[in-house]
Amino acid sequence: MKLIILDRDGVINHDSDDYIKSPEEWIPIPGSLDAIARLNHAGYMVAIASNQSGIARGYFSLETLAAMNVKMNEMLSTVGGRIDAMFYCPHGPKDDCGCRKPKPGLLEEISNRFQIGLGEVMFVGDNINDVRAARAAGAKPVIVKTGKGEETASMVKQVNGYGDIPVYNDLNEVVNDLLQVHH
């Protein structure tokens, strides 16, 4: 089975320092939904691993998160795409849970759900905590420059042992490279 794991905010949709708190604020990054559909059509299962501390902080409810996911899934279905599994951490930074990235808990849950080792699985994120979670879970970190990715890309160049992490402009470029699509 082929699996790819994506962060949500900053990879699939535009991110905000004020959090994405409603379906209205959930706006896809151009090309990201088509990229997911192309992954699906190429036989990839697509999972999301997302910190959603806005729930713990009281900025939005689980129902609102579900409504955002409904919007994403409906928009994906119009381009022939789907998310196969969604894992999120609703906790805040002080909750000391095992699922909040940079800890590997969400990725380990995905590994268990799909009964697949993560050694060859890409985890596409825009944040240094995505990179750390991927490394901790034994997955392959990939950075996109959307969201907080520009800052993260310059940061990983300076961190010893992180220089080999691939950096792409956006999810569409990751998928082009993965599926060897050259224009």
Take residue 34 and report the two structure tokens written for it. Answer: 């088509």
Backbone angles phi, psi at 19, to 5 degrees: 75, 150
Is 95 annotated in the active site? Answer: no
Sign (positive/negative) of CA torsion 143, 78, 111, 66?
positive
Nearest by Cα to 109 from 91, 86, 131: 86
Nearest by Cα to 10 from 169, 178, 135, 182: 169
Is 9 annotated in the active site? Answer: yes
Q: Which residues are catalytic?
A: 7, 9
